[in-house]
Amino acid sequence: MSSIVIEGLGMVYRTGFWGRKREALKGLDLTIEPNEIFGYVGPNGAGKTTTIKILVGLQRQTVGRASILGKDISDVEARRNIGYMPENPYFYEYLTTEESLHFYGKLCGMSREQRRKRVPEMIEYMNIPEIAKVRVGTFSKGMRQRIGLAQAIIHDPEVVILDEPLHGLDPVGRRQLREKIVSLKEQGKTVFFSSHILSDVEQICDRIGMLFNGELAAAGDIESLLESHVGSIEISVRNLPPQAVENVKQLAGTFTERESVYRCSVSDQEKGRKVLKLIEEAGGEVLSYVPQRVSLEDYFMARSEKGDRK
């Protein structure tokens, strides 16, 4: 059974004095499998937060349906086994860390005995014993994000939904939270999270979905999405005659020579084939021909700038 299934999900808002319609989501179809980390990426206003709010019951879709662990999201039971962390977790400023976690545990239906056992486990898991009895109102963004994740998983849910969990964190905080997200998968949980930080998504996600203007532009495992997109090609060659060297330089983006070995890079496969042909005709010896895969950020920017969103 899939952890999350979204079918034909659409959301229309009415904005302004005249109540003009704006489509935040347009026929979204998406499936999240058990025990995977799924990254949901897209520019501001693409519909990521709208999707998440619909899944956790904070908004109601205009059309379509979705289910969590086989139960329709309109069913209260569908939400009993999910954990949710919003982009900006809210806490009562006067409560301590321990009191906050007890509060959220009680909201999740946990008994006092369950909370007495689970709260210390969460404080240890998030490595925050020094702030267990400190009021939340004094905490930095990084500390609030840690407690936000702790409250999302206090009741040990199977599905964890996080909205921009890495937003606003420094490099150390981002790394620590990334490690916690990976550990959730190791515990057998399914993690669905949105993020603008594509380098982090590329590091920890099994699959991604890319959203533009409320429509799903791409979805799948990162390797499959990027393997056909070559950022550049690095070529090494020796025994290349002087005239051939000049011809190759005209096609290459970079060109260097060291110990009679020439190294060059070209921007695409078409130029790569032309360089190989020049080398072959000149009698040179190709030592290596290595396509350099683009990063997820490069892939995202290319689709965004060219308008190639389908």
Phi then psi dihedrals of residue 290, to 5 deg: -120, 105
User: 132: which 2 tokens?
Assistant: 């267990």
| Residue 135: predicted pLDDT | 95
- Amino acid identity, position 278: L
pLDDT, average across residues 156-174: 91
The pLDDT of residue 230 is 64
Please tell me the pTM assigned to this model.
0.80
> How high is the pLDDT of residue 39?
95
- Residue limits of CATH 3.40.50.300 in the chain: 4-226
| Rounded mean pLDDT, 190-210 | 92
Nearest Cα to Cα of residue 197 among 295, 126, 294, 292: 295
Average pLDDT of the chain is 89
Q: Are strands 190-194 and 159-163 parallel, antiparallel or unpaired?
A: parallel
- Homologous superfamily of the 4-226 domain (CATH): P-loop containing nucleotide triphosphate hydrolases (3.40.50.300)
Lowest mean per-residue pLDDT among 83-97, 164-178, 204-218, 284-298:
284-298
- Would you identify the CATH topology of the domain 230-293? Alpha-Beta Plaits (3.30.70)
Chain region(s) in the chain for CATH 3.30.70.980:
230-293
Summarize pLDDT for 247-302 with one digit per residue, the tens: 888 888 888 988 889 998 887 778 888 989 999 888 989 999 887 777 788 778 77
Name the band, by pLDDT with cuts 50, 70 and 90, for residue 310.
very low
